[in-house]
């Protein structure tokens, strides 16, 4: 089992069928996450009146735009900005209990060999 943020590690593990718990901050798990039963996506929330609004585009700007203070425009580009909110509140909103529960659900579901 792997616990990871949205990085190449989780993509590689997912493609290999490894059970994964993915912690999402800037991206929206329901748009960019995997939905296989051996994957648990935990979405962090951006506080302070910065809701994101995915908008489907049909031009060269990319498949979606996300209104988040840490992203400058296109989700697919790496045009990351420093978040104007102190710390990393979207990630801090994910509790240890959420991660433990997600790991336990993969174990109970038989996706992790605990022998």
Domain ranges of the chain: 2-108
Report pLDDT for 32: 66
pTM: 0.70
Measured CA angle at 53 (ends 95, 97), to 5 deg: 10
Q: Which residues pair with 53 in a beta bridge?
A: none
11-47 confidence digits (pLDDT tens)? 888 888 899 999 887 666 766 667 788 888 888 877 6
Contact by Cβ (8 Å): 86, 70: no
In which band, very low, low, confident or very high, does the pLDDT at 97 lie, cut at 50, 70 and 90? very high
Greater confidence (97 vs 30) lies with: 97
The least confident of 31-35, 74-78, 109-113 is: 74-78
List of residues 6+ apart from 69 with CB closer than 8 A: 46, 50, 81, 83, 84, 85
């Amino acid at each position: 089992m792997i616990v990871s943020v949205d990085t190449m590690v989780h993509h590689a593990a997912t493609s290999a069928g490894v059970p994964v718990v993915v912690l999402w901050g800037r991206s929206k798990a329901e748009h960019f996450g995997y939905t296989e039963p051996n994957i648990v996506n935990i979405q962090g929330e951006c506080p302070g009146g910065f809701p994101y609004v995915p908008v489907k585009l049909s031009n060269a700007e990319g498949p979606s735009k996300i209104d988040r203070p840490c992203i400058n425009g296109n989700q697919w580009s790496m045009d990351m900005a420093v978040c104007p909110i102190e710390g990393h509140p979207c990630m801090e909103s994910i509790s240890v209990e959420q991660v433990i529960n997600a790991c336990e659900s993969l174990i109970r579901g038989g996706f992790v060999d605990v022998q």
